[in-house]
A and B are shown apart, each in its own frame.
Chain A
């Protein structure tokens, strides 16, 4: 079944090229049709790959250039459980996006779908690649398609989001490439497993640390982890809602997944002796992102921007899961990222419905004008974000916390605070828009988004059934994910295999099957269930407080300063990127040598 592995990349790219060629000669529906068909096909391939990665990775060498004597000249796709899951997630979200776009845009040329297909192809390649340089190429291809998609507004909004996106991500990519160059100079390899073999058995010297720093920083920019997150919120505010679904559900998740994907095969050898220090660094970064994302989400009035900060917060929680460096947490992270990505996608599609029907995505302006169906889906999604059992995100977060080793007993508190803030922000918006609760004046939340335009006298009517249907489908799959038979156990087995570097290297480079490790299906403890119920209740309480008590108490200097940091000026963002990378590098040098 090896032949399936390159299909998720080949199909969309070929379809994109063909569609671009015939674009001017075909009817308008043809673009939707082809993109929908290809995304659905890739989803099926992704799920099939996922079911086949149960006991071993799928390693595919392009052109049959298999490694000999441990030297890989060829280029490999190395599909593990998490990679296949993310590939399936990306294609599924893309399918929902295409279905939604069919009714969302008044008119789209075929080029919009060409861009979507290129984005899908690069995302799939990024999820499946086992070769460091190809990760870079797919990352850049993803950026190129995404800049164009961000600027593809049908509304005359500021283009500054697209610019900030391109420039900051450009720097992320340079850092990554610089790191790749250093690694190649040291090891003479680009295959992740082979790099790991060459580095293992040596101490982490300056060059390895700088390479690790640059590669990690490059991926963290893509993931939108603080302090590299500034571009993300700007890009969301400008991009059309269906495109935001792909950013939130796919791009951030993949950037984060890449950190795990590169750390264990390539760097866990030399850095393994400093696990405690590395754990502290990554968990600190994750917690900072989680709290900042939650707090900033609570201070937004533009729904897309709010969801951007929710994404930053949730990605922070996922980074904690990776940073704990245990198999249980990593398994939890995979489940969390996939189910949460689906829920966030669903929420963004509901925002798309509101933008389409009300001509505004602004919480205060839309007060009391919401549609019942969209309100129900939005509130349910908000509760899932807050961690209400039995949603998939609850399940994943519980496993992340349970995978924590000693010394991180306070972890659930920090993660719960972040979830409460994110959930409360969304519930507050749902209450205000659908039920008309609260006031429509809230100076703390700031000025109205400059992209808002005057309402036309007769709001255009998109097809609600199709649009809400797509949102509800994402939500149901996201919430019900842990119910997929055997999925939690499978995630844990895949995580255990990723952590076993020598066995993974032997599997990739010599084709030796990995040892079978008996795993039990993990399930959340009673403590986690109680904590999550408390988190959901806290979110509801905080939302009610915000709606009926007002937000006047938040008019404080620290909060104003926090908001002022997100200045929208790209040169500031690059400064943050530089300073953040330098600080991270200083910490690495002090603690990881």
Chain B
């Protein structure tokens, strides 16, 4: 098993974090958040991958055929659903912010400080 998928997962997480930290636009920021979330998909799928294995559908294949791990695929699917909900809500709040304040720059939105 190569280390490449794990390196990719870490890379996506770090790049997404960098994007969020330096972001000057809320929509850009939320998209960077989904880049981070993608890193967890890659990680989970990489953990379940097995070389020369088939999809985990145990119908019409001989007993003992190697299959990838179905648990992580279920986890990834759940993760995707959850992230869609979070993404939708954050974008909805961003739209509200733009309507009220006329800006989407995190540093210009009126904030509670101190």
Taking Cβ atoms with an 8 Å cutoff, the residues of A that contact B are 133, 137, 140-141, 143-144, 147-148, 151, 156, 158-163, 166-167, 170-171, 174, 177-178, 180-182, 184-185, 190, 233-234, 237-238, 299, 302, 305, 446-447, 449-451, 563-564, 566-571, 574-575, 578
Report 29 cross-chain contacts, Cβ distance below 8 Å, ordered by A residue.
Answer: A133-B78, A137-B82, A140-B82, A141-B82, A148-B89, A158-B111, A158-B112, A159-B100, A160-B97, A160-B109, A160-B111, A163-B109, A166-B89, A167-B30, A167-B33, A177-B40, A177-B44, A177-B79, A180-B75, A181-B40, A182-B43, A184-B72, A233-B112, A567-B113, A568-B112, A569-B106, A569-B107, A571-B21, A571-B107
Bitwise, B75-89 to A at CB < 8 A (1) or not (0) is: 100110010011001
Inside 8 A of A305's CB, which chain B residues have their CB?
112
Query: Measured between alpha carbons, how far is A569 from B21 in the docked complex, in Å?
Result: 10
A234 touches B100 (CB 8 A): no
- Asked whether, in the complex, the Cβ of B93 is within 8 Å of the Cβ of A566, the reply is no
B110 part of interface (Cβ distance < 8 Å): yes
**Contact status A167-B20, CB under 8 Å:** yes
Task: List the A side residues contacting B26 at CB < 8 Å.
Answer: 163
Residues of chain B within 8 A of A160, CB atoms compared: 97, 109-112
Q: Please give me the residue from chain A that is nearest to B113 by CB atom.
A: A568
- Interfacial chain B residues near A571, Cβ < 8 Å: 20-23, 29, 106-107
CA distance A181 to B49 in the complex (A): 13
Q: Is the CB of B86 within 8 A of A143?
A: yes
- A299/B89 contact (C-beta < 8 A), A163-B97, A167-B29, A571-B22 known: no
Contacts of A171 in B (CB 8 A): 17, 20, 33, 36
Interface of B is mostly: helix
Is the Cβ of A567 less than 8 Å from the Cβ of B23?
A: no
Cα A170 to Cα B38 in complex, Å, equals 13
Roughly how many angstroms separate A568 CA and B112 CA in the complex, as a whole number? 6
| Closest A residue to B100 using CB positions | A159
A238 CA to B72 CA in the complex, in Å?
38
- A161:B112 contact, CB within 8 angstroms: yes
Chain B residues near A564 (CB-CB < 8 A) = 113-114
Inter-chain contacts of B86 with A (CB < 8 A): 140, 143-144, 147, 166, 170
- Give the chain A neighbours of B107 by CB distance below 8 A: 569, 571
Chain B residues engaging chain A, CB cutoff 8 angstroms: 9, 13, 17, 20-23, 26, 29-30, 33, 36-37, 39-40, 43-44, 47, 71-72, 75, 78-79, 82, 85-86, 89-90, 93-94, 96-97, 100-101, 106-107, 109-114
Partner of B106, one of A133, A162, A570: A570
A166-B29 CB under 8 A given contacts A144-B85, A160-B111: no
Shortest C-beta distance, B66 to chain A (Å), equals 16
Provide the residues of chain B in CB contact with A575, threshold 8 Å.
21
Closest residue of B by beta carbon distance from A183: B47
Contacts of A574 in B (CB 8 A): 17, 20-21
| Contact with B93, one of A156, A163, A174, A451 (Cβ below 8 angstroms) | A163
Are B113 and A159 neighbours in the complex by a CB distance under 8 Å? no
B residues in contact with A140, CB < 8 Å: 82, 85-86
In the complex, what residue of chain B is closest to A177 when comparing beta carbons?
B40
C-alpha gap A233/B43 in the complex (Å): 33
Which A residues touch B94, using CB under 8 A?
163
Given A163-B97, A178-B13, 10 extra CB contacts under 8 A? A144-B86, A160-B97, A160-B112, A170-B33, A171-B17, A174-B36, A178-B39, A181-B43, A234-B112, A569-B111
Contact between B112 and A450 (Cβ–Cβ < 8 Å)?
Answer: yes
Given contact pairs A174-B13, A449-B112, A163 touches B90 in the complex (Cβ within 8 A): yes
From known contacts A163-B97, A574-B17, infer whether A446 and B22 are also in contact, taking CB-CB under 8 Å. no
* Cα separation A159 to B26 with both chains bound (whole Å): 12
Query: Which residues does chain B contribute within 8 Å of A137, judged by CB atoms?
Result: 78, 82
Given contacts A184-B47, A190-B71, contact A174 B89 (CB under 8 A): no
Closest to B114 in A: A563
Residues of A within 8 A of B44 (CB): 177, 181, 184
Question: Are the C-beta atoms of B96 and A151 separated by less than 8 Å?
Answer: yes
CA distance A225 to B101 in the complex (A): 31
B112 touches A167 (CB 8 A): no
Complex CA–CA separation, A158 to B78 (angstroms): 32
Query: Within the complex, which residue of B36, B79, B113 is in contact with A446, where a contact is CB–CB below 8 Å?
Result: B113
Chain A residues in 8 Å Cβ range of B13 = 174, 178
Chain A residues lying within 8 Å of B79, measured Cβ to Cβ, are 177
Within 8 Å by CB of A147, from B93, B101, B112, lies B93
Q: Are B114 and A299 interface neighbours, CB within 8 A? A: yes
Q: Hey, which chain A residues are within 8 Å of B113, CB to CB?
A: 446-447, 563-564, 566-568
The answer to whether A133 and B75 touch (CB under 8 A), given A156-B100, A181-B44, A567-B113, is yes
CA–CA, A366 and B36, complex, Å? 44
A13 nearest CB across to chain B (Å): 14
Q: How far is the CA of A299 from the CA of B113 in the complex (A)?
A: 12
Cβ contact within 8 Å between B93 and A158: no
CA distance A287 to B30 in the complex (A): 33
Please report the C-alpha to C-alpha distance between residue A571 and residue B22 in the assembled complex, in whole angstroms. Answer: 7
Q: Given A159-B97, A162-B93, A570 and B114 touching (CB < 8 A)?
A: no
B100–chain A nearest beta-carbon distance, Å: 7
User: B20, B23, B114: which has the most chain A beta carbons within 10 Å?
Assistant: B114
- Bound together, the chains give a CA A162 to CA B13 distance in angstroms of 23
Cα–Cα, bound, A563→B47 (Å): 44
Chain B residues within 8 Å of A566, by CB: 113-114
| Pairwise interchain contact A166-B93, C-beta atoms closer than 8 A | yes
**B75 — which chain A residues lie within 8 A by C-beta?**
133, 180-181, 184
Contact (Cβ within 8 A) B112 A238: yes
